[in-house]
Amino acid sequence: DFVRVTGPAPVAACSADASTVNRGGQILLTCSLTNRGDMAGRETKLTINLTGINPEEVGTLNEGQRIERRYRVAAPSQPGTYTIQ
């Protein structure tokens, strides 16, 4: 008999510790990666598209496993509204 599997299903999410920050200030960015699939993900990387943050090798992310990383980053130099994606 065969069992249908969906495979690894990584889901990434990020949040900031402040909704408003002064120019030149710092933000604590918390990012997580969760495998919602039913198989382990191999050679997994967490990539945050910000200057100074390099892709991080996570390795194997088992089914249901969640990792969390925190990064302290400088606020943008230009005033405005920015979206974390």
Highest averaged pLDDT of the listed ranges 5-9, 21-25, 63-67 = 63-67
Of 31, 30, 37, 19, nearest in space to 75 by CA: 19
Identify the pLDDT of residue 4. 84
pLDDT at residue 83 above 80? no
pLDDT band, residue 10 (cuts 50/70/90): very high
